[in-house]
Every structure is written in C-alpha cells, then in structure tokens.
Structure 1
C-alpha cells in the first residue's frame, strides 16, 4: 500500500531508481520507488533474446555488488542483468512499488513539495526524482508507409530471427542495436540490408584492455559535454560472442548489403543518401583516434602492454561502400521486414512542472533543477559521458542524495 506522504518519490524502478534509493537510504531519507511495470522491465520485454550487456561485468555494475553468474571480463546476458537488479533491490531493501503508474506530478498548490497522482492513489512528497531513463518512447521515422506484405517494427519489438516472416530484412540504424541485430539475422541465413548513419566505432579491446577501461583512463567517461555536433551520434559496440569490435567491412564480407542513411520512399523503392562512405570513414577516424590516444597513454606511463599494430590497419572498402546502392526495389529485393533501430525520445508528459526548455529537454545542472525538490537522474550527459551507464548513474545519484540531505527543509524537519 502506498503511503499518503513521504519525503521523496522516485519515479522509475530501473538502474537510476535503485541507485537513488540506495543513497537516500544511507542518509535515512524516507522514500518510495514507483515503477509502472516491474524492476528493469525494459531488459525483460523490450530487448532481443540473445542480447548481452555492451560492457564487461566488472564495469557495468554497481560498486557494492558483483554479478554472481558472470565472470568479470564476460558480458552479462539480459536475463542476468534482470536478476542482478532484482537481487540488488533486495540487498538495499529498496521500497519499490511495482505496477504503479504515475499519472501526474504537480507542485503542491497548498504548500511546498509535490502532489503525485498514481494509478493506486495520491502521494505528497517534498522531493521528486524523475529516474525513468533515456529509453522511453521508441522512435519510428515516418519514411515508409504501411505496405501489404511488409512488417515494420522498432528494435524493441525484435526478439529473434524465427519471429520474422520469410524474406530479406532491412535494418535501419547502425548503433549497437542495429549492428547486432543485422549480424544475428545474417548468421541465421537471412538476406540483410543495413542502413548506416553517422556513428562512433570504438575498439572492443586494444592491447589487452577493454575499451571501457580505456575510456576510463583516458578521461572520456568523465567528459562533461559531448563534442560539437556529436550530441546524438550513436555508438557501434558489441558484447556479443565474447565481445568484438564492430567492423562494417567485415559485415559486408559476410553478405550484408550496407547502404547510407534512409531518406525516403517512392514507387516501391527505398532511397538512401550518398553518405555511406563518409559515415564509415568518420567511424574509422573515431576508432583510430582511440588507438592513438591509448598508444600515447602507454608510452607516457611506461606500461608493458602487448603491441597490436594490426589493429591500425583499415582494409579496402568493399563494393557496397565504394559504389553505394542508392535505392532498393523492396519487392525485387524480397524485403518482408523493416526493423527501425532508430533510438528513443524521452517522455515526461506526466511531469507537470516548469522544468523544461521549449524543445522539451529537461533544464537542470547535474540533475538539480531550479524548482526546489525537483530532480532528474539517468539521462545521457546528466553530469558526464558516463551518466547513462550503471556505474555513472550511481555517482550521479550520490550527488543528488547529498543535495537532498543538505536542504534546509530536511534539516528543519
């Protein structure tokens, strides 16, 4: 049963909500977590069957708990991740209320704090933390109309090759989801087209260390703002099959047809931009820059890491890059499924407070808004590049809990 009042309401029972709960508990601050489904629901029902974490288990975890079923250098399955969050909630005795949807949250018209209307009643709280994360509403561009014989789905609806009708598959989006899904489909024997837009393509590992380790020692996880023009650039990285560098040329060699960014549809044809070679080249440049910075770091610190000169070799472009396909006749190509691995937008329609810019983006400084008691957590670049990752959200939650604990209203109470 929900309390009528509490100090802090946390909306969202994923990694952000659990991290916030742990830190609030350390300060003895009463709170509840409201989760409309189950803990880590998106890992349960909005990811494909074979998905594994994109970071090794030593990295993608909270500081106080290791994965019990995954070796530190291995990549946890989605089922292991779900079990991990459930066990973590028990470990910290998180006050999670599942099956409770937040309908509206408004400022209290008769005093300080907020009134939170839910599917199971109303709660008054001094603080509210929006911890719903970055993966809220799937984005499906309105490029392709509904066509007979063509199934369109977002990557959140994809589970395995067996669920799809027979025929070729067009995958739109070359981030972690799109590349892994395209690769799985090709390995299952499907004809696959992969639409590749701008992306970063880091090495999975280099000179004996995972790229997560390299981003740490090179200070990239702690970067405060994204590079100019890179705010929404996707990252192509994979933990599949023990972890491997995403290599679009190798994917082409397996039979996947690479095309540029999907632009429009007309007369039975999908049309693509002439930007494939440019996108691939910029991804290569990102990849090579990490290698060079890693080499410099090794030299500066006198580390005895094994050399890996072959990692710097970029092979020649395959025909689909040097002579790109600019349009595809859907019927002749035998395409029966289009999978949109095109990301998400945030949905704060339930939050009726003046904490947003005209474009709908939350206004905050490290998650703290100008509205007393209103906080955001788990968003990309909330305080640093690592903010949307498990360990990063834990750090951000600690900062917000300190802010809440230091507020004059709490001390007065």
Structure 2
C-alpha cells in the first residue's frame, strides 16, 4: 500500500478521544531547533502564541548528534536568529557545539518561546472539518495550522551491504561519533567526503590515527580569499539570499552535498591532497563490500579534480565581484594541486589491515511517516512553495533551499520564519472574520 492509499481523513475505528481530552490551539510548531524556535518567535511577534512540541530538549540534535570538536563552518556574525543576533566577542570566529546549544537555549529564553519538551508527535492527521489532529505522547491536540520544523536529516544512510562486514568491526554513523578515543585502537575507514566526513576524518587524523577516507563527489570551498572569509564575500554577493527559482539547477540543488571546509582552529580550508601528502589514505567512492574488505571505484582523481574545480569557480566569482565593483583587495596565489593519486586504488583488505571502525558519513534520509497527509513527492520529500504545502494550514520550515541557499542556516531561517508567520497571522484573521460573519448570520436569522 503506498503513502497516498494509507493517507486518509480520520475515520479510524478506534474510539476518538473525548472532547474534554483534546487540547485545541491556534498553531502548533513541531520541533525546537533553530527553525521551530524562529517561527515561534515570529508568531509571537504577530500576536499569536503557538504550542511548540519538542521530542527531546531544545537544541537536542546539536548537543547529542555532533562530535566534541564540531564547529560551525560559517562565522559567528552570520548567526542572526529573529531579534537575537550573535552577541559574543568573537564575530569572526566559529561557534563550537556547546556554544551553539547555549546560543539556541538563550534564544528560546529571550523570545519566551513556549516549548513543551519531552513530547513526541506520533501521528499528524487531517480532520474532516479542516485542520489537523496530532496524536502525541502526552495526549491529543487539534489545530487549524501546523508548522513542521523537524529538519530533513532523520535517518542515517549506510551502504546497502554494510551488514556484510564482520560483527567485530565497529560501525558508527556520523551522528554517533564523538571523539577519537571513543574508538578501539587501529585504523579507521571514514566513508563519505561531505562536511561531516572530511571533518571527522581530520579529527581522527590530527589525533594520530591512521585514517582511510572514501572520497565522493562533494565540492570544496576556500576558507579565506582576497583578504576576507569567503562567507563574507558570498554574503556581500547575495549568494545566501538567492531564491531557488534563480538557481541554474533548481530541481536537484536541494539534494546536493554542501561544500567541505571547517571552522576548526579559527577556520581553514580542507585540502584532501595536502592530507594525503601527510599520510591520510584516500580512496575513490566505495563500490563494493565483502566479508574480506572494501573495493573502491577508480574515480578518486576525478572526484578531487571536481572538488578543486568548484573551489576555483568560487575564487573566480569573487575576483569578478571585486573587479566589477572597483574594490581594493590583496591578491592570492593561484591554487596548484600538491598531490596526485596513484593510477591504481587497491582494495582495502581486512586481512592485510584490520580496521578498528567504519564511520558512515553518507548522508541522511527524511522520515515523515508520521505525517499522514498527502504532501509528499515520490522520494518522500514534502512538496512546498517557500514552505507552504498543498495542504491548507500545513507548513514546513528549516529544510535546505526551502526558499534560498540560506534557508537551512542560522543566517536565513529567520526570514523564512517571518514569511510563514505572516501567512499564518492572515489565515487566523480570515478565519476569525468568517466566524464572525457566521455568528452574525445565525443571530439575524433567529
């Protein structure tokens, strides 16, 4: 049975909760990360008090699904949640994990967001009369408007043949990795070269571990160029404000991997060729797993070249911006690759080099099975226009490229939140006006 067949208005044979047991509120926000807190704050500015439901605690995923040395890759000055910009003394620095958690919890306190922590939403269903019923771990809520702000990264992906590996070999997903000494002694294979994969591989490598890294097609970015952090240049060039409709490839951009670089050690580039010179072992994309080991595709050189091509294009776009605006900026030397992979990428044989662990940094998939409303495409992703789904009164927020490149970031989620809060306020006003007309009509007819 497919999703559309399973989705229906509430006509379950289960007895409905008594009217007294149902909490009725004007707006529910699901999730208390930066997206949920932002839209709740904006709704309150519009004169609406939402109920915010959080399965765990505010900023749970930042605190419990990031490694110890994790840092944002964007500078602190770009943290600008609604009426709560970064207020520390290091605007050019990069917040670490604990500072991010503190920033979000202070924002929730500052905005007086009414978060109900420890409450899981188990089902979201449409009502026959309009609006939605939320079955939660703490009872039933009915509301005409819901904002789903749970993000898009719910279930880790692994290679489909990961189960073939020996049981003695520790396997972790990126969100479960914390620190090098968490792992048994011995070499480690990191699979995936997006931001998490490259940063975790570096974390292990800088701790003196022997690291194998399976490199995919993720692009890379400069850290500083022509005298400024690249994020500063891109912000000036309005990259973060570019709507998805203006992107050259709007259909696939939401699925693309972020550029890899790091905020660690004050912020720097990640050049995998340099790490290979220093002893990190690079491989192509993981192609096959067997009980004896791993085989990699012969695409390492192409993947490194592709990442470098994006790196150069970013630098070239900054050069063009500087020239076209007549700006003064110091020159930087051209980038030249410092290492080339060997012609052969031999398999990684577990007999020859027993591994201590494999860390899967191969992305996440969305899991909206609890949402029993037909708003999803064939891949299970919500269909929306700037967060507004086809179902009246149901919205999504905090997804990559929801509206702009900045939508899923601390710099852009506030703008999307304010937009949705304005729409919700207008819907509430319209509904109130309709109710008043109905009451007046009934009064005149009595």
Same fold (TM over 0.5): yes
Match of 1:237 among 237, 241, 261: 261
Residue 128 of structure 1: aligned partner: 146
Match of 1:283 among 304, 307, 312: 307
In the alignment, structure 1 residue 102 sits paired with structure 2 residue 126:
no
Match of 1:301 among 310, 316, 325: 325
In the TM superposition, 1:145-294 aligns within 5 A as 145-225=164-244, 227-228=248-249, 230=253, 231-294=255-318
- Mapped contact 1:70–1:76 kept (Cα < 8 A): no
Residue 414 of structure 2: aligned partner: 394
Q: Would the alpha carbon gap of residues 404 and 148 (structure 1) be closer, same or farther in structure 2, given more than 3 Å must change?
A: closer
In 2, the alpha carbon distance for the partners of 1:186 and 1:246 equals 13
Encode CA deviations 1:358-407: one digit per residue, 9 max, x unaligned. 22111111110121101010111111111110121111111111111122
Q: How many angstroms does 1:355 deviate by?
A: 0.7
Q: Would the alpha carbon gap of residues 100 and 267 (structure 1) be closer, same or farther in structure 2, given more than 3 Å must change?
A: closer
Encode CA deviations 1:258-312: one digit per residue, 9 max, x unaligned. 101011113512011111111111111101011111011111111111211x2x2
Q: How many angstroms does 1:410 deviate by?
A: 4.6
Q: How many angstroms does 1:234 deviate by?
A: 3.6
In 2, the alpha carbon distance for the partners of 1:306 and 1:266 equals 52
- Mapped contact 1:274–1:326 kept (Cα < 8 A): no
Once structures 1 and 2 are overlaid, which stretch shifts more, 187-196 or 219-228?
A: 219-228
- Mapped contact 2:187–2:357 kept (Cα < 8 A): yes
In the alignment, structure 1 residue 313 sits paired with structure 2 residue 335:
yes
In 1, the alpha carbon distance for the partners of 2:433 and 2:391 equals 18
- Mapped contact 1:16–1:397 kept (Cα < 8 A): yes
SS of match in other structure, 1:388: coil
- Mapped contact 2:79–2:86 kept (Cα < 8 A): no
Residue 409 of structure 1: aligned partner: 431
Residue 160 of structure 2: aligned partner: 142
- Tell me, which stretches of 5 or more residues in structure 1 are unaligned? none
If the length of structure 1 is used for normalisation, what is the TM-score?
0.94
In 2, the alpha carbon distance for the partners of 1:172 and 1:203 equals 22
In 1, the alpha carbon distance for the partners of 2:399 and 2:208 equals 37
If the length of structure 2 is used for normalisation, what is the TM-score?
0.88
Residue 349 of structure 2: aligned partner: 329
In 2, the alpha carbon distance for the partners of 1:214 and 1:411 equals 47
Q: CA RMSD in A?
A: 1.7
Number of positions where the alignment pairs a residue of Structure 1 with one of Structure 2: 407
